[in-house]
């Protein structure tokens, strides 16, 4: 049921949200507002504030765990539009609406022979969600190319712009997951890309797929091929992509693990920590392809949990906890969940695991 339907969709009641999360978990919104403009976002926020409703903001739902029911107002900001503007030298500035599909944006940039986001091809979801998680893949993060984020304050519907530094982007982290969590609605992003070739081929699996001097299109197509080989299409097999973050450990912990497991994938970071491959750790526990009821570990990528149908959020979290326990028991490393969980009141709750992953034994 809906009322006040107009350019921004109006208010709907008891809205099915199974379309709004790529895990296809059953969920319904008490009230739903579909905004296609900044003013539409403001109208929805003012309506919710006038009624004292809590507000939940949804994007493409590729990184969310939804409960069976969400109270208050659920708002989706589907602001479209991509604009390119030549900057100084080889720089090109890109402005993109929050409702633009991320992969569609990457493809448009590659089509203009622009460098900077080609490694981020085929990441599901909408552009507006990208800064929240600081999306990344194959050695590249959104933080490498973002200039600013425009947003609307949930409390007074005031618009503002944050520059890159104010977004405080880190590994799968940002100010939007911390100080500004549940306080703003992202409406637009500004990126700076380059016409000068800048291939990032640090991951061996990617370097093996492209020529010594690849084009942005070459890298884009190689990333797409790798992801399609490893990851299930959420339209055919519901999933939320990478369910766990790749854990960061101290150099001493990594060294100890490498003495036991010389073939363990590991990636030294600029701050001295070492990133491990969560999927590899799960696989080493013999859990790739494991299925329990409605949920399972994907048979080609252990980092991905899939929903076979008929499951609930409670069942998914119980299954995920078993994987976390197995990795902790085998390696002493604690995996953190990557998708954000929404509770019944629309509040995002923290991921499983607190702080940096650790190992039980001493680091020495």
Residue span of the structural domain in which 131 resides: 82-227
**In-domain check, residue 19:** yes
Task: Calculate the CA dihedral of residues 352, 355, 359, 364 and round it to 10 degrees.
Answer: 180
211 shares a domain with 89:
yes
**In-domain check, residue 364:** no
d(Cα 192, Cα 111) in Å, to the nearest integer?
A: 16
311 shares a domain with 292:
yes
* Three-state secondary-structure class, residue 143: helix
Residue 196: how many CA atoms within 13 Å on its side-chain side?
Answer: 6
**What's the pTM value of the predicted model, to 2 decimals?**
0.80
22 shares a domain with 61:
yes
186 shares a domain with 138:
yes
Quote the pLDDT of residue 348. Answer: 60
Which of 77, 107, 126 represents a domain boundary (last residue)? 77
Quote the pLDDT of residue 233. Answer: 86
**Any residues with CB less than 8 A from the CB of 237 and at least 6 apart, and which?**
298, 306, 307
Which of 164, 194, 227 represents a domain boundary (last residue)? 227
Dihedral sign for Cα atoms in the order 210, 212, 217, 219: positive
192 shares a domain with 300:
no
Domain count, the chain: 3
253: domain CATH number? 3.90.78.10
211 shares a domain with 334:
no
Quote the pLDDT of residue 266. Answer: 94
**In-domain check, residue 291:** yes
**% helix, strand, coil for the chain, step of 5:** 30, 30, 45
pLDDT tens sequence for the chain (364 residues): 333 444 465 899 999 998 889 999 999 999 999 999 999 999 999 999 999 999 999 888 888 899 999 999 999 999 999 999 999 999 999 999 999 999 999 999 999 999 999 999 999 889 999 999 899 999 899 999 999 999 999 988 899 999 999 999 998 899 999 999 889 999 999 999 999 999 999 887 888 898 888 999 999 999 999 999 888 888 889 999 889 999 999 999 999 999 999 999 999 998 999 999 999 999 999 999 999 999 999 999 999 999 999 999 999 999 999 999 999 999 999 999 989 888 876 666 555 443 333 332 222 2
**Which residues are known to be catalytic?**
172, 242, 338
- Give the DSSP per-residue string, 19-53: GG-TT----EEEEEEEE-SHHHHHHHHHHHHHHT-
d(Cα 310, Cα 26) in Å, to the nearest integer?
A: 9
199 shares a domain with 246:
no
311 shares a domain with 272:
yes
**In-domain check, residue 356:** no
284 shares a domain with 217:
no
């Amino acid at each position: 049921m809906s009322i006040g339907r107009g350019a921004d969709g109006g208010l709907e009641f008891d809205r099915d949200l199974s379309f709004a999360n790529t895990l296809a978990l059953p969920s319904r919104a008490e009230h739903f507002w579909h905004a296609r403009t900044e003013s539409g976002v403001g109208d929805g926020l003012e309506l919710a504030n006038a009624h004292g409703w809590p507000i939940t903001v949804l994007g493409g739902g590729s990184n969310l765990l939804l409960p069976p029911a969400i109270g208050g107002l659920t708002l989706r900001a589907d602001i479209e539009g991509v604009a390119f503007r030549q900057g100084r030298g080889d720089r090109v500035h890109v402005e993109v609406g929050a409702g633009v599909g991320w992969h569609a944006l990457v493809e448009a940039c590659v089509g203009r022979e622009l460098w900077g986001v080609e490694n981020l091809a085929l990441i599901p979801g909408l552009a507006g969600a990208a800064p929240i998680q600081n999306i990344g893949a194959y050695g590249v993060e959104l933080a490498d190319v973002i200039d600013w984020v425009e947003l609307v304050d949930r409390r007074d519907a005031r618009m503002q712009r944050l520059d890159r530094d104010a977004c405080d982007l880190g590994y799968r982290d940002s100010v939007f997951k911390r100080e500004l969590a549940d306080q703003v609605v992202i409406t637009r992003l500004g990126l700076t890309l380059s016409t000068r070739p800048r291939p990032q081929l640090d991951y061996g699996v990617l370097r093996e797929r492209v020529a010594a001097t690849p084009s942005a299109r070459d890298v884009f197509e190689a990333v797409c091929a790798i992801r399609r080989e490893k990851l299930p299409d959420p339209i055919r097999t519901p999933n939320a992509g990478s369910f766990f973050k790749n854990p960061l450990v101290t150099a001493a912990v990594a060294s100890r693990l490498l003495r036991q497991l010389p073939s363990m994938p590991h990636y030294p970071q600029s701050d001295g920590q070492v990133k491990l491959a969560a999927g590899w750790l799960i696989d080493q526990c013999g859990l790739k392809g494991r299925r329990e009821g409605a949920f399972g570990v994907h048979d080609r990528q252990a980092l991905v949990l899939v929903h076979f149908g008929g499951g609930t959020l409670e069942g998914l979290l119980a299954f995920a906890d078993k994987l976390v326990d197995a990795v902790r028991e085998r390696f002493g490393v604690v995996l953190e969940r990557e998708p954000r969980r929404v509770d019944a009141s629309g509040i995002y709750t923290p991921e499983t695991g607190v702080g940096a992953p650790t190992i039980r034994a001493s680091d020495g």
